[in-house]
């Protein structure tokens, strides 16, 4: 295969990853609403452990059909274990606890800090280069998230303990992405996702036994609709979502994947309109436009477009010069 064809194929695969990341952000955005319903219906730690375990089993079933399941090496297992603590135990524990104590808009704003935190962590631990354009994209994306959650229907008024828990959840997740990137060269990130979810869910369940002794007895109180939401959250958002996202980290990098998290609050807004009959405000539309620009700048899409334009111009000038001589 010619070099030009290889380059073109790589670009197509990259755009496919971008489209999958948008799907994941839609699933994660709607999952904020689903998680809010679940943790207010059941004991938060107990139901989160069961949801994450269901997601982990779903991942292994999918990878089993794809024949991608294997035992990790000792080195890989160490990364899996510590990533499980940060990406699953800490993230889901603090997120479920936070969403049960704060408003959806407060939680959405703090979750919007994800790309900024991830990029900063990647800069210090991986040496990931942050160009001026990508930094501008991060700032614009964060500005868009701020407009959506601060000037929406709920508004941000005070910082509660729930706000602090949500911040801890997104910070620990940002750190875990570095661990996933470090082991992605030898271990399929999708398989790592399955191991992390199962190991993390077991640790979460042990925590829930201490914090919520009657947690299991309370799961019988849920309606059929709530359990359907539970399964959708576990399989679509948590299992498929984390498989796709962690695989994207291995393909396009930590900072570039994290930029797309800015889209998640917008999909939360759409879900609130559809399922909770909330009204979209002008400030929310304005915020979404900033998010789109943030993804364009921060993902590197704009830089790639400018680079291609420059290459075409250089080729055109070279062709004209050759014809002239």
Residue 46 within any structural domain of the chain? yes
Instruction: Please tell me the distance from the alpha carbon of residue 307 to that of residue 288, in angstroms, as a whole number.
Output: 26
Residue 36 within any structural domain of the chain? yes
Domains contained in the chain, number = 1
- Per the CB < 8 A criterion, the answer to whether 172 and 87 are in contact is yes
Residue 137 within any structural domain of the chain? yes
3-state helix, strand, coil in the chain (%, to 5): 85, 0, 15
**Residue with the two structure tokens 């500005």:** 143
More confident residue, 169 or 256: 169
Residue 3 within any structural domain of the chain? no
Torsion angle (degrees, nearest 10) of CA 49, 52, 55, 61? -60
pLDDT, residue 320, reads: 64
pLDDT, residue 155, reads: 52
Confidence of residue 176 (pLDDT cuts 50, 70, 90): confident
- Per the CB < 8 A criterion, the answer to whether 197 and 238 are in contact is yes
Contacts of 191 (CB under 8 A, 6+ apart): 63, 68, 69, 70, 72
Burial 112-122 (b: 16+ CB within 10 A, else e): bbbbbbbbbbb
pLDDT, residue 197, reads: 92
136 sits in which H/E element: helix 132-150
Residue 285 within any structural domain of the chain? yes
More confident residue, 162 or 303: 162
- Note down the domain range covering 141: 8-324
Mean pLDDT of the chain: 80
Residue 1 within any structural domain of the chain? no
pLDDT, residue 322, reads: 64
Residue 168 CA, distance from chain mean position: 15
**Residue with the two structure tokens 């700032």:** 139
């Amino acid at each position: 295969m010619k070099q030009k064809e290889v380059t073109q194929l790589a670009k197509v695969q990259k755009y496919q990853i971008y489209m999958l990341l948008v799907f994941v952000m839609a699933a994660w955005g709607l999952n904020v609403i689903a998680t809010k319903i679940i943790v207010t219906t059941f004991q938060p730690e107990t139901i989160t452990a069961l949801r994450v375990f269901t997601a982990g089993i779903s991942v292994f079933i999918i990878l089993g059909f794809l024949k991608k399941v294997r035992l990790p090496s000792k080195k890989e297992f160490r990364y899996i274990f510590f990533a499980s603590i940060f990406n699953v135990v800490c993230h889901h524990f603090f997120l479920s606890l936070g969403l049960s104590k704060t408003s959806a808009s407060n939680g959405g704003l703090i979750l919007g800090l994800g790309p900024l935190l991830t990029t900063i962590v990647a800069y210090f631990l991986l040496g990931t280069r942050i160009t001026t354009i990508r930094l501008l994209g991060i700032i614009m994306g964060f500005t868009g998230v701020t407009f959506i959650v601060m000037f929406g229907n709920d508004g941000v008024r005070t910082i509660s303990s729930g706000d602090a828990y949500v911040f801890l959840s997104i910070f620990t997740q940002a750190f875990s992405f570095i661990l996933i990137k470090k082991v992605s060269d030898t271990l399929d990130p999708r398989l790592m996702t399955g191991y992390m979810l199962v190991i993390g869910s077991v640790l979460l369940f042990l925590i829930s036994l201490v914090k919520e002794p009657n947690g299991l007895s309370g799961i019988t109180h849920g309606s059929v609709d709530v359990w359907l939401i539970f399964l959708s959250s576990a399989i679509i958002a948590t299992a498929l979502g984390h498989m796709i996202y962690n695989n994207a980290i291995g393909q396009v990098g930590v900072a570039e994947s994290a930029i797309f998290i800015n889209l998640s609050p917008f999909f939360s807004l759409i879900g609130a309109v559809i399922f909770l009959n909330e009204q979209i405000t002008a400030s929310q539309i304005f915020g979404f436009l900033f998010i789109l620009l943030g993804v364009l700048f921060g993902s590197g899409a704009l830089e790639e477009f400018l680079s291609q334009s420059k290459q075409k111009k250089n080729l055109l000038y070279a062709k004209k010069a050759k014809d002239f001589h």
